[in-house]
Amino acid sequence: MAFDAGGGESGAMSVLIIGSGFSGLGLAVRLKQAGIEDFEILERADSVGGTWRDNRYPGCACDVQSHLYSFSFEQNPEWTRMFAQQPEIERYLQGVADKYGLLGHTRFGANVVAARYDETHALWRVETADGRRFSGRVLVSGMGALSNPSIPKIPGLADFKGKLFHSAQWDHDYELAGKRVAVIGTGASAIQFVPQIVPKLAHLDLYQRTPPWIMPKPDRAISDGERRLFRVLPFTQKLMRAGLYAMLETRVLGFVVNPALMRLVQRTAERHLRRQVPDPALRARLTPSYTIGCKRVLISDDYFPALTQKHVDVISDQVTEVRADAVVTADGTAREVDAIILGTGFTVQDPIPRGAIFGRGARDLWDRWNEKGVEAYLGASVHGFPNFFMLMGPNTGLGHTSQVFMIESHIAYVMDCIRQMRAKQLRAVDVRAEVQQQFNDKLQNSVNAAIWNQGGCKSWYLDARGRNTTIWPGFTFVFRGKTRRFRLADYALEKTTSAARA
Ligand code: NAP
CA distances from 342 to 67, 309, 339, 375, 460 (A): 30, 21, 10, 29, 16
Q: Mapping DSSP to helix (H, G, I), strand (E, B) and coil, where does residue 319 land?
A: strand
Q: Please report which residue ranges of 75-138 form alpha helices under DSSP H.
A: 86-99
- Domain annotation covers residue 488: yes
CA atoms in the 13 A half-sphere facing the CB of 430: 19
Residue 68 phi, psi (nearest 5): -105, -30
| Mean pLDDT (the chain, rounded) | 94
Question: Domain containing 43 — which CATH number?
Answer: 3.50.50.60
Pick the atom of ligand 1 nearest to 190's CA. 25
397-407: pLDDT as tens digits: 998 999 999 99
In a domain, 79, yes or no: no
What pTM, to 2 d.p., does this model score? 0.94
Burial class (CB in 10 A: 0-12, 13-18, 19+), 227: middle
H-helix or E-strand spanning residue 242: helix 234-249
Contact in structure between 413 and 490 (CB atoms under 8 Å) = no
**Does some domain include residue 61?**
no
Could you tell me if 153 and 342 are in contact, meaning their C-beta atoms sit under 8 angstroms apart?
no
Q: CB of 166 within 8 A of CB of 340?
A: no
Query: Are both 310 and 172 inside the same structural domain?
Result: yes
Per-residue pLDDT at 261? 86
- Non-local CB neighbours of 175 within 8 Å, separated by 6+ positions: none
In which residue ranges of the chain is pLDDT below 50?
1-13, 499-502
Q: What is the pLDDT of residue 173?
A: 98
Q: Are residues 172 and 308 in the same domain?
A: yes
From atom 38 of ligand 1, which residue's Cα is the shortest distance away?
A: 62
Does residue 183 sit in the same domain as residue 124? no
- Cα-based torsion angle of the residue sequence 238, 222, 475, 61 in order, rounded to the nearest 10 degrees: -140
Out of 320, 342, 364, a domain closes at 342
Q: Tell me, yes or no, whether 184 and 254 share the same domain.
A: yes
Residue 234 lies in a domain: no
The pLDDT value recorded for residue 460 is: 87
Ligand 1 centroid from CA 298, angstroms: 10
Alpha-carbon gap, residue 398 to 409, rounded angstroms: 13
Looking at the fold, whether 107 and 178 belong to one and the same domain comes out as no
Quote the pLDDT of residue 6.
Answer: 40
CA–CA gap between residue 379 and residue 197 (Å, rounded): 38
| Residues 269 and 324 occupy one common structural domain | yes
Q: Is residue 330 located within the same domain as residue 188?
A: yes
Residue 245 maps to a domain: no
- Among the candidates 342, 362, 392, a domain finishes at 342
Residue 76 falls within a domain, yes or no? no
* Residue from 22, 56, 150, 186 to probe ligand 1 pocket by mutation (most atoms less than 8 Å from CB): 186
Q: Which residues line ligand 1 (CB under 6 A)?
A: 61-64, 146, 152, 167, 184-190, 207, 209-210, 296, 319, 343-346, 460
User: CB-based burial of residue 331 (10 Å sphere; 0-12 exposed, 13-18 middle, 19+ buried)?
Assistant: exposed
For residues 85 and 60, the answer to whether their CB atoms sit within 8 Å is yes
Give the model's pLDDT for residue 349: 80
pLDDT value, residue 244: 97
pLDDT value of residue 350: 83
Axis crossing angle, helix 86-99 with helix 22-33, rounded to the nearest 10: 20
Instruction: Ligand 1 pocket test: pick from 169, 299, 344 the residue with the most ligand atoms within 8 Å of its Cβ.
Output: 344
pLDDT tens digit sequence for 335-377: 999 999 999 999 888 888 889 999 999 999 999 999 889 999 9
Considering the domain architecture, whether residues 306 and 380 belong to the same structural domain is answered as no
Same-domain check for residues 264 and 294 = yes
The residue whose CA has the least distance to atom 26 of ligand 1 is 345
Residues 377 and 416 grouped into a single domain: yes
**Of the residues 315, 342, 369, the one at which a domain ends:** 342
pLDDT of residue 11: 38
CA–centroid distance, 346 to ligand 1, in Å, is 7
How many separate domains does the chain show?
2
Domain that holds residue 183: 157-212+250-342
3-state SS class at 156: coil
pLDDT tens column, 413-467: 999 999 999 999 999 999 999 999 999 999 999 998 888 988 899 888 999 889 9
pLDDT at 224: 98
Note whether 177 and 282 are same-domain residues. yes
The answer to the question of residue 309 being in a domain is: yes
CB neighbour class for 26 (10 Å; exposed up to 12, middle 13-18, buried from 19): buried
The one-letter code for the residue type at 37 is E
Do 470 and 376 contact (CB within 8 A), yes or no? no
375 and 388 share one domain: yes
Q: Give a yes or no: residue 238 inside a domain.
A: no
Cα separation, 67 vs 64, whole angstroms: 9
